[in-house]
Amino acid sequence: MSTSQSFIMSVSLAGTGHAVPEKSFPNTDFEKTLDTSDAWIVQRTGIRERRFAEIHETTSSYAARAAKKALDASGLTPEQIGMVVVATTTPDMRIPATANIVQNELGLVNAYSYDIVAACSGFVFAMVAANAHIRSGLTSSALVIASDLYSSILDFEDRNTAVLFGDGAGAAVLAKQEKSEWAPDGRPSGVVAVSLNTDATRWDNLTCLGGGTAGRKTLSSAQPGFVRMDGRDVFKQAVQACEARIRDVLDASGCKPEHIACLIPHQANIRIIEKVAQNVGYPLERMAINLDRYGNMAAASIPVALDEAVRNGRVGPGDLILLVAAGAGFSSAAMLLRV
């Protein structure tokens, strides 16, 4: 099912933040244990290094660090946040939600919180949910976080997946925007259009079976598992899905590629990004790309790139930006918003 809708904007992007591990792991580290090389990885993925969390660190700890930066940038107090949603496929534990742990850590005493699972599309799905909650009147502000530590579910003996992923977290604060706060030209900031899609017939091309009920042999045999992926099928699906979502939001908004100041794609593979750019006619140099430094941080990829683009001045007030992602499930999502 695919959904697409345009809005009269009244929800603004108030602040962003991100947090990544300090220690980087270059491709050459994998040459010691896998039949691979730096040149092979760079040629096929564009990744040169990634960050892995320490064994004692958790998804919630990175989520809280990124969220604190976004909250500080927004100018809102912890008491003003009414909603916390964390997009992750590597939660601290099965219950409670990682969002609850973050809420407690940051003292967000007036918020309700929950997790959302949409794999690499999770941040955009979470942004759409937060936007809807604010527009419905349930809350006036929301903290949207994506945090994933894929090092916790990687098989480091599998060349097809081990070299692709990294750890990190990104966050954004969305807040209700009164008409008096709109720009002088009468254009409010915030969400312009969204498109969400799930092709459930492809649910099995990217999986992690551990920790769930599928595949149990006994009542107590739900063990941790590793990411498994059909790389060729995922590549094909990702290109098609991202292109479709981009066209959806452009059609819904009446915008053209040249109107977009910056396109921020999910950072899975440079070849996917190049193909999408070519297919939709968007200059690669105007995309925010950081996968060479971080690898695929799953749901966290887009908000980390978004925060870097905001903080380095690549995007500024009034700019139209487009977020697009595709991931396991097979889910895809795009959001067009004005900064």
Helices marked H in the chain: 38-45, 59-74, 98-106, 122-136, 159-162, 231-253, 270-280, 291-294, 301-311
Nearby residues of 312 by Cβ (< 8 Å), 6 or more positions away: none
Spatial distance between the Cα atoms of 82 and 61, rounded to a whole number of angstroms:
20
Six token digits for residue 284: 């690669």
- Is 18 tagged catalytic? no
Name the DSSP class of 138. Answer: S
- Is 296 tagged catalytic? yes
Q: Find the catalytic residue in 18, 131, 242, 266.
A: 266
Give the burial string for 280-304 (b: 16+ CB within 10 Å, else e). bebeeeebbbbbebbbbbbbbbbbb
- Is 242 tagged catalytic? no
Six token digits for residue 8: 């009269």
DSSP for 16-44, please give it: EEEE--S-EEEGGGGGGTSS--HHHHHHH
Burial of 32 (0-12, 13-18, 19+ CB in 10 A): exposed
Spatial distance between the Cα atoms of 177 and 169, rounded to a whole number of angstroms:
26
Q: Find the catalytic residue in 27, 100, 205, 296.
A: 296
Range 203-210 contact pairs with CB under 8 angstroms and sequence separation of 24 or more:
203/328, 203/329, 203/330, 205/229, 205/230, 205/233, 205/234, 205/237, 205/328, 205/330, 206/119, 206/230, 206/234, 206/327, 206/328, 206/329, 206/330, 207/328, 208/89, 208/153, 210/153
Name the DSSP class of 211. Answer: T
Q: For strand 83-87 and strand 141-149, is the pairing parallel, antiparallel, or unpaired?
A: parallel
Q: Find the catalytic residue in 120, 208, 242, 262.
A: 120
Catalytic residue ranges: 120, 266, 296
